[in-house]
Chains A and B, each alone.
Chain A
Amino acid sequence: MLNLSPVWKRRLLTLLVVVVVVGAVLGFTVWYKFFRQVDDGPFATAEERFLYGSIDAENTAGLPYWIWVALPQVFPDLLPGNGQGGYRAFGVPWEQGHEMPTGFTKKIIGFPRVANNCAICHTTTYRTRADEAPKIVAAGPNHTFNVQAMLRFLTACAADPRFNADTLLAVITQQTKLSFIDKLAYRYLLIPRTRDALLQRSGQLAWMNRPHWPDWGVGRDDPMNLTKYFLTNLPWDSSVGNADFPSIWNIGLREGKNLNWGGETPAPISVIIDSALGLQADPKTVVETSKWLLSYLTAKRAPKYPFPVDPILAAKGKILYDAQCASCHATGSPRVGTVIPIQEIGTDPNRLDTWTQEAADKANAAVAKLGIQRVGLIKTNGYQAVPLDGIWIRGPYLHNGSVANLRELLEPVENRSKVFYRGYDVYDPVNVGFDTQSADAIRLGFKFDIGIKGNGNQGHLYGTTLSAEDKSALIEYMKTIGPAEGE
């Protein structure tokens, strides 16, 4: 022990107190400004939580809220050129009056951050007429959303010289009063780090930006290639597996069955976990979040067909359905939820071929390494026969969304549209599917061409030889396939 005079002892003690206090204030400030977690709930309903609730992806994948707000305003030239502004240009469903589009979460981790949840790909909008507000259906396929365009937009912003503190803060400070500390944080930390993170993400997505590579378009992604390239270190291959976002309501029907179009995931909870991880949900909370999602989705039902149905015609159609379709599609039938061999179903094989046993093994190992216990991915040789609840709103049809509507699905391949427009949400009750050919569908939609790799509309020829009357009856019945809400 040093032998100090009492004066020096007092001085040292004062110094120590000052250091501790300053340190504590500094530490608290840093914690408060960057790490403090504020729960984004509670939500008024389970549906609200599904649509807007955090799955804890904000820490890894979150954008600082004000950067998220500013980007479409700073870079309108990088938006898809469909004449729509802001994030709506990507076709996101957005309840009028609601702060965020569906599938977007806002959570404070030190500062407000924006990430996505399952609703980003699993919310449907539809309109019965062009002149009404879109209705929002949770857990349906998001047939209007162009996720690839959004990913490309974000990375293009980051690569643009305008992505700098001066430009972004000029826009941000027109909308909110940032404190001095927040301004510094945005200028020296959040803006540069967000730019770096987005550029890094563009590296991870480079495989989908290869020249002349088929676009996902709206309502689709390349699910198993995404899984493969994110979870494993396998080299890029030439496979293209663009596939429709599926509906995920009444997921209890799938218990003990195969999920994903190719049936690669044998358990609902595993699909939910893997999808949440794909959105960069926190591995520490992902199992708990997924369990809640499973319970919500098990209880959730398809929406009712919103137009009149002819009961007599539908009854006639049910007889045809029971004879022609039920063995693969009806609940409790032997083949529903099982994989139908590709040789039998005959639809476009590209999606199936994106996945391999090697990819399954490596992906399972990677998830296990995160400490997550789940039933693993497998390799199959076909496409699964899906339950058809709410099939009326799940168009376009087949795993790759290559058939515009149910009427065309019952036509032989040569009569199915070779080019049509996806992503317009006005419903077509005559053909039973979304409007894919009107002027507005063309202006706002994504041009789908069956000639592009992975977009083949062949196969699933069941019912195509029925008489015109029988087809109409069958379609009438299919409008009613549930269980729907309230049934």
Chain B
Amino acid sequence: MTKPGRTIVLIAEAVILVFALLYFGMRFTSNSAVEYSNSLEHFKYGSTGGEILAGIPYSVWMTLPRIFNLPGGRYESFGFIYEAGKDLPIGVSKRRYQGIDRVSFNCAICHYGSVRDTPDSKPVLIAGMPSNTVDLRAFYQFLFDAAKDQRFSAALVLSEDKAMGIHEDFINRQIIRYYAVMAMQSFMITYSQRLNFIMSEPPFGPGRIDTFSPAKALLNFPTSPDKMPENERIGTTDFPSIWNQRKREGMWLHWDGNNNDVAERNRSAAYGTGAYPPTLDRPNMQRIMNWLLDEARPPKYPYPINAALAARGKTVYDQLCDGCHGPDGVNFAPNYKELGKVTPIADIGTDRHRLDSYTLPLAMNQSLLYAGTKDPNERFRHFRKTYGYANMPLDGIWLRSPYLHNGSVPTLHDLFEASANRPKTFYRGDDVYDPIRVGFKSNSPERNGRKLFLLETTCAVSKDCEGNGNQGHEGKNYGTELPQADKDALVEYLKTF
């Protein structure tokens, strides 16, 4: 070759090299979440940053239900809610990180519910209410089982990708084929071992989770049965509603009232979405938080309310409930009487498993979380071990069925019965509303093909009752000894919250 020719080739090579470096550099440092300008859409599908350390490759997420023959080829059987035209259910976010689309959960997975009048009517989806249909533990069990299953292979993921029309480019196909699936399998197996003690608790069913055992797993506390006291093992709780957070600032939050800082509580909850101190997407999280503080509101009760009866119920409420639960569903604020404070377990008398599962050593160790971030104010400093359950505001209480911290009482009508007369077993996870008893229907074992969960409050049927006790919040001070007419009036009034 002539000298100028060689020079041209050299220059061309250099240019290609520079572009290749630039391309791969940009590709593998990419980190961008799918953004939503609307704050509600952002709450539903926006990212907390969980995909970075705990994400599942989009291709794997999409193809797993088909590989394992889940009904409809999606995750609806776990109660996940899909909106028309969306590939991901509410509560699942997407981010491109290091060139690969990954998905993870966000806040909406536990705080977005569904309500309908009849089995055949179209469900109304409500942001900020407890995810009454979502069975997260069953989903995790599915993932852990899948990780160990031979059918979960890169080859199948790629062929299902093709069948579904999901396009991964050549490089990502190689990454999936030779790395991503294997890495996910080994991550899931390690993770499942760490969470083993949670998975061996009595089943939660839809709408419930153990909130603080995962924090023990995060800090890798010794959790083997010989090291963890039996009474600290079970922490089953209902997903709460998360409306009106501004008015809750300064109250003791979580069921046992173990934290009085809304922002810190949110960072703590973000761990559940896979977002860690170095990966938390702070601007996105702030948007979610702003929405929770000032925009998230419960919807009005959609069925008729007997105004006269409700007015009578208000007098009962003002006498009996107002001291702990605030004046009504709107005008509550911290420092109102006992609202937002903790009622000792001996007084409230409800199932104490959840209380005991949150321990003093855990509260102490949580002080180290977020110690290593740029903003020193992010470090956790508000967690406290308590010895009772917190008095909650009752905004949107009609949508927060089943009741009590462990969701052991299906309806408001049942709540005002003494525990002996409350249902011993019932089905959780239905989204058909029962305006007579005020709460979700709880007597059907399935809903439109989705199996519901039989909750046992006592051990009459099997041994899966621990943590499900429906006792407590009863007696003279709690309305269970009122005349029936007063109870009916009180329930009527609570519909207005």
Contact = CB atoms under 8 A, between A and B. Distances in A.
Interface of A: 66, 69, 72-74, 76-77, 79, 81-89, 94, 96-99, 101, 131-134, 173-177, 443
B229 A69 contact: no
Contacts of A131: 344-345, 387
Contacts of A84: 221, 359, 361
Contacts of B363: 96
Contacts of B379: 99
B222 A69 contact: no
Contacts of A133: 360, 384-385
B372 interface: yes
Given A85-B222, A97-B383, A175 B367 contact: no
Interface in B318-367: 344-345, 359-365, 367
Given A94-B367, A96-B385, A99-B367, A443 B278 contact: no
Contacts, number: 99
B220 A76 contact: yes
Given A98-B381, A174-B276, A88 B368 contact: no
B220 A176 contact: no
A101 B229 CA distance: 23
24 contacts: A69-B368, A72-B220, A73-B220, A74-B220, A81-B226, A83-B232, A85-B216, A85-B220, A85-B362, A86-B368, A87-B365, A88-B361, A89-B361, A97-B380, A97-B381, A97-B382, A99-B381, A131-B344, A133-B384, A173-B278, A175-B276, A175-B372, A176-B277, A177-B278
A282 B191 CA distance: 43
A88 B222 CA distance: 12
B184 interface: no
Chain A binding surface SS class: loop
A79 B277 contact: no
A86 B221 contact: yes
Contacts of A174: 53, 276-278
Given A175-B372, A177-B372, A73 B229 contact: no
A132 B387 contact: yes
A38 to B, nearest CB: 14
B308 interface: no
Query: In which size bucket is the chain B interface?
Result: 35 or more
Given A74-B220, A82-B227, 5 more contacts: A85-B361, A97-B384, A99-B368, A99-B381, A176-B371
A66 B367 contact: no
Given A174-B53, A175-B277, A85 B365 contact: yes
Interface string B381-408: 1111101000000000000000000000
B228 to A, nearest CB: 5
Contact of A86 (B53, B219, B372, B384): B219
Contact of B369 (A82, A175, A443): A175
A83 B364 contact: no
Contacts of A87: 365
Nearest to A127: B360
B97 to A, nearest CB: 15
Contact of A96 (B53, B221, B383, B387): B383
Contacts of B387: 131-132
A175 B278 CA distance: 6
B373 interface: yes
Contact of A98 (B232, B277, B367): B367
Contacts of A98: 367, 381
A74 B362 CA distance: 16
A163 to B, nearest CB: 15
Contacts of A94: 364, 367
B383 A176 contact: no
Contact of B227 (A69, A83, A97, A132): A83
Contacts of A76: 220-222
B353 to A, nearest CB: 16
Contacts of A175: 276-278, 368-369, 371-372
B273 to A, nearest CB: 14
Nearest to A92: B364
B145 to A, nearest CB: 25
B367 A88 contact: no
A34 B292 CA distance: 43
B222 A77 contact: yes
A485 B7 CA distance: 88
A52 B174 CA distance: 53
Interface string B214-250: 0010011110001111001000000000000000000
A77 B384 CA distance: 26
A82 to B, nearest CB: 8
A86 B364 contact: yes
Contact of B365 (A82, A86, A132, A173): A86
A81 B372 contact: no
